[in-house]
Structure 1
Amino acid sequence: MKSSNLGYPRIGEDREWKKTLEGYWTGKVTESDFLLQMEQIRLQHLQKQKDLGIDLIPVGEFTFYDHMLDLAVMFGFVPKRYDYEGGAVPLSTYFAMARGSNRAVASEMTKWFNTNYHYIVPELGDRKPTLTENKPLQAYREAKEKLGIDGKPVIVGPFTFLKLSKGFGPKELPALILQIVPLYIQVLQELAAEGVQWVQLDEPILVTSITKDEMKTVTYIYKQLNEAVPQLRIMLQTYFDAVEHYEDFMNLPVAGVGLDFVHGLDENLEALKEHGFPTDKVLGAGIIDGRNIWRSDLSVKKQLVDTLINIVSEEQLWLQPSSSLLHVPVTVRHEDQLNPIVKEALAFADEKLAEIKCLAENAANGEEEPFAQSKKALTRLNQSIERNRKEIQEAAAAFLSQDIQRNSTFEQRREIQKAWNLPLLPTTTIGSFPQTLEVRQARRKWRKGEWTTEEYDQFIQKEIRKWINIQEDMGLDVFVHGEFERTDMVEFFGEKLGGFAFTKNGWVQSYGSRCVKPPVIYGDVEFLQQMTVKESVFAQSLTTKPVKGMITGPVTILNWSFVRDDLTRSQVAFQIAVALRNEVEALEAAGIKMIQVDEPALREGLPLKQSEWDDYLQWAVKAFRVTTSSIADMTQIHTHMCYCEFHDFIGAIDQLDADVISIETSRSHGELVSAFHQNAYHKGIGLGVYDIHSPRVPSCEEIIEVIEQGLKALETNQFWINPDCGLKTRGIDETVRSLANMVTATHIVRERLAVTN
């Protein structure tokens, strides 16, 4: 058996990738130094995998921002607004597509399947595609010449690329396929001429609910590739779930197929047993979880390998992670502050590759000793007190059989909430304000013990006071306190709840240079203390305007954490919901009567197969209601959601029964407005009117256009005006100018509406 990897984390052990990127963007790193430093990081990652003894090392999946953006640029899909004239795409244009510029807005960004990674959505409508440069070939040459690695180039497959792109309709898809396939052929032919043995084409779209007709299109594409480059061996890789249309999939003219035997274990294994496996193909078996951080019980994995060997020969079998390791941190090696019982049960990217290598070398020889240590470590964790708090488990389970509802219907609450006396098109923000260097330094001093808690609280109050005054001067209608005491919207709550652990260096990429350090839910989740009341009450004492209390919802805390795998995700979600219910009640008792329970990750937890959606949405919606249902009618519940295809589950959004929802839509505003034309929604809603992920300041005219577009689908009495997400990562000047333009634009629209009416 051979060991294989599908992709390695880009960010580096100390986030050196992120620091290099941000240094280049701020002008502290020249372009030549940027390219040199990125090359060094890339080679270090490859050398690590070589040192670990991985047989098939991926090359070409490293990126300066996003792998889908790389492919769009490689094929010349650069929207005309960026003034691109052909040839290799300059870095300035590349980053303008990702982040926007003073002259052009950024491309849309959305979630990569059901993960927390965001990709840049290719726009295919503007230009005829052309190969600008063969980046996989460059990556292969670099690895071979500089490290002696005969790498496995990784490319997003043509069908996944097209399905995840925008700018064309169903009738235009056949013509696009005829344009795209020759470019893939050109790339593959050049790789074959270079001596490449294997190329990995990622087609995760094949695990979603695609139709039989779509599978025929996939068959056509791969027949074209095989006929044009028969000498090149293609590993057709899927991940995140079980493949659809197994028999058609296995008949594709490729040399190998990759299946997920973690998240798609039961279905993939059942299909393999029922239909068998071709004798002329290699099976890439994803047996180590590429998306969670728990160590594998290698004795159990050995049993899975034994089962596979009964179906395919050892020579046909590659052992690999279930997906790219992009979704986990780099190494456990630096985690010297964790509870030893938790630490010994963890495996990040490097440790997962070591597990793969151990299985590849030992699984077939019948010895159990190499696998005994992992079982002992996991047993110690499973038997710990933290994982066996019966009173917490029973309290969460009690809600499963209950019908969880607010005291009154939304229509009844809306009449009561008119007492807020808000203007037409009320303006607000999503929650956070800029976390400046001064804010981060203050937190660091407090954590290191250089400041007392009293000194730190005084600093936080100074920041809150400053931004309450800014909001007053700006004329916003509903305020927030700014969240200056919070590092991350999930980590902050995890630090105050029982059952969570925190890594020192467990960073993963969310989008671009934005990295997050997900908490580790290792035990039963318990409410220990009030978490947000102090800062919210202080902020409210400074103004007569309403100040929203801000908490992160149970499903987002679940989806943005690394979650224990000995309970179902729904069981853990209900434990979190019960804990947060205590916090919502504490805020209300303290006089905070607008409370925002953010669920930006609700959509990303949606299963990839539509047949499984209803079950997920039922328990996810119920967990939100457990958190928010026990308050008075006058208390207004807000929520917020991030980029996603909202038309998929507008019904579930309605069932949350929040009084107001804000949605991150500025990069895809038209599509969302169209969704509300097709699906009635009557509760309060804020469609984000400008993009906070770009440093550019939107003009009043731009914002007016967005507001007026939204009013074509929404009633004026339900439409709220807000940025499309929190402002934590933005600078102070751009934040103030953007919000000022937002308020000005709102006043102009209000005046127009008054004249019209």
Structure 2
Amino acid sequence: MNKLLPTSTAGSLPKPSWLAQPETLWSPWKLQGDELIEGKQDALRVVLNDQRQAGIDIVSDGEQTRQHFVTTFIENLSGVDFDKRETVRIRDRYDASVPTVVGTVSRQQPVFVEDAKFLRSQTEQPIKWALPGPMTMIDTLYDTHYKSREKLAWEFAKALNQEARELEAAGVDIIQFDEPAFNVFFDEVNDWGIAALEKAAEGLRCETAVHICYGYGIKANTDWKKTLGDEWRQYEQVFPKLQKSSIGMISLECQHSRVPMDLIELLRGKRVMVGAIDVATNAIETPEEVADILRKALQFVDADKLYPCTNCGMAPLSRQVARGKLAALSTGADIVRNEILAGGI
């Protein structure tokens, strides 16, 4: 992408009310069969248009064709029993009933490739597609087969790599792996988590990214953030090794967070998606608030490597709020882009 400060979203966008219950995570579909397929494509067109109207440069599917950013991919793999459920602690934060790994996990067929082809047919803009990362996948399951988080992560990495290669062939420009678990399991991240992530991205010629946030704006996450003190330094644990990794872009959370901006210096040389939109509030940022975050980030990342973005996905928000936030992101980026081109920064 040749444009300076190209904007994008981190992941999900709200689904239309005729497709799924608004402002709700894991919301069941309201349609079935062929109507569901058509409804998903219609929703994809809607969120693509919302992004265009807002001036977003790198567009995505807004995760309109999946119920959840992790489980929809897992549902399409063998070796996982969704009827056999256990309660586990998700990212050391909240309990959830999850499916069980009962055998060898493998990808039997493409999961999102047809959806990506449809999106590609609808736009000439650069496309970003998000997949769950291996460590975040293992943290949303109960494992009775491998009995090793590392072994299971490596199997998921192989399946993700198969999917990612086909998404690239379908015309996806940036493949992003979502790894909120990287902000929790620091020893595992450095021991084998980043290596598993690199396995998932192995052989890709398109741009690769990893998204590491502090989670959706749900109560379990906002309560956890209140326990983290005045400075959130979790990134400090994993950035040094990520900086040396083969992953090209790092997506992080900055707006209304207590992340010290100078931690970005640890990623020097990487492209950085700077989260300038808070997804844990209905308050719509002003363009100047967005611009302020970007100006601060520019102290630690070169302008040609800075990608204004949202902190995380916006599925739990209303469509009106999400559209307002997208417009603020775009306009805020315009402010700073013009300042750079005028020599002011």
Task: Give the TM-score normalised by structure 1.
Answer: 0.40
CA shift digits 1:613-652 (9 cap, x unpaired): 3x652321111111111122xx111220013611122112
Contact 1:560 1:601 in 2 (8 A): no
Q: 2:249 aligns with which of 660, 665, 679?
A: 660
1:628 aligns with 2:208: no
Question: How has the CA–CA distance of structure 1 residues 741 and 508 changed in structure 2, closer, same or farther, with 3 Å as cutoff?
Answer: farther
CA offset at residue 565 of structure 1?
6.7
In structure 1, the partner of 2:70 is: 490
Count the aligned residue pairs: 320
Query: How far apart are the structure 1 equivalents of 2:326 and 2:264?
Result: 25
1:558-573 to structure 2, matched below 5 A, reads: 558-564=138-144, 566-573=146-153
1:651 aligns with 2:240: yes
Letter in 2 for 1:642: C
CA offset at residue 754 of structure 1?
1.3
CA offset at residue 439 of structure 1?
2.2
SS of match in other structure, 1:668: coil
Q: 1:699 aligns with which of 281, 286, 310?
A: 286
Asked which structure has the greater RCO (Cα within 8 Å, sep 6+), the reply is 2
Query: How far apart are the structure 2 equivalents of 1:515 and 1:716?
Result: 41
CA offset at residue 510 of structure 1?
6.6
Of the structure 1 ranges 560-569 and 701-710, higher mean CA displacement relative to structure 2 is found in: 560-569
Contact 1:704 1:745 in 2 (8 A): yes
Query: How far apart are the structure 2 equivalents of 1:462 and 1:516?
Result: 31
SS of match in other structure, 2:260: helix
Contact 1:548 1:595 in 2 (8 A): yes
CA shift digits 1:43-80 (9 cap, x unpaired): xxxxxxxxxxxxxxxxxxxxxxxxxxxxxxxxxxxxxx
Query: How far apart are the structure 2 equivalents of 1:480 and 1:504?
Result: 33
SS of match in other structure, 1:550: strand
CA shift digits 1:580-639 (9 cap, x unpaired): 111011112222232112222123222xxxxxx3x652321111111111122xx11122
1:511-550 to structure 2, matched below 5 A, reads: 517-550=97-130
Letter in 1 for 2:262: S
In structure 2, the partner of 1:105 is: none
Across the aligned residues of Structure 1 and Structure 2, the Cα RMSD in angstroms comes to 2.5
Query: How far apart are the structure 2 equivalents of 1:731 and 1:692?
Result: 11
Query: How far apart are the structure 2 equivalents of 1:564 and 1:658?
Result: 31
Percent identity over paired residues: 26
CA offset at residue 695 of structure 1?
1.5
Contact 2:242 2:267 in 1 (8 A): no
Query: How far apart are the structure 1 equivalents of 2:96 and 2:280?
Result: 15
Of the structure 1 ranges 516-525 and 474-483, higher mean CA displacement relative to structure 2 is found in: 516-525
Query: How far apart are the structure 1 equivalents of 2:84 and 2:289?
Result: 42
Where is the strand percentage greater, Structure 1 or Structure 2? 2
Question: How has the CA–CA distance of structure 1 residues 518 and 431 changed in structure 2, closer, same or farther, with 3 Å as cutoff?
Answer: same
Query: How far apart are the structure 2 equivalents of 1:655 and 1:523?
Result: 34
In structure 1, the partner of 2:332 is: 745
CA shift digits 1:702-743 (9 cap, x unpaired): 111111111122111111101100111111000001110111
CA shift digits 1:149-173 (9 cap, x unpaired): xxxxxxxxxxxxxxxxxxxxxxxxx
- Which has the larger Rg? 1
Query: How far apart are the structure 2 equivalents of 1:579 and 1:547?
Result: 21
Query: How far apart are the structure 2 equivalents of 1:698 and 1:753?
Result: 21
In structure 1, the partner of 2:211 is: 640
SS of match in other structure, 1:440: coil
In structure 2, the partner of 1:374 is: none
Query: How far apart are the structure 2 equivalents of 1:424 and 1:465?
Result: 26
Letter in 2 for 1:673: M
Query: How far apart are the structure 1 equivalents of 2:306 and 2:30?
Result: 42
SS of match in other structure, 2:104: strand
1:470-619 to structure 2, matched below 5 A, reads: 470-503=50-83, 517-564=97-144, 566-606=146-186, 613=187, 616-619=189-192
Query: How far apart are the structure 1 equivalents of 2:142 and 2:51?
Result: 36
Contact 1:435 1:729 in 2 (8 A): no
Query: How far apart are the structure 2 equivalents of 1:695 and 1:509?
Result: 28
Q: 1:673 aligns with which of 246, 254, 261?
A: 261
CA offset at residue 571 of structure 1?
0.8
Query: How far apart are the structure 2 equivalents of 1:484 and 1:712?
Result: 36
Letter in 1 for 2:260: L
Query: How far apart are the structure 1 equivalents of 2:203 and 2:73?
Result: 20
In structure 1, the partner of 2:20 is: 440
Letter in 2 for 1:675: L
Where is the helix percentage greater, Structure 1 or Structure 2? 1
CA shift digits 1:299-327 (9 cap, x unpaired): xxxxxxxxxxxxxxxxxxxxxxxxxxxxx
CA offset at residue 658 of structure 1?
1.6
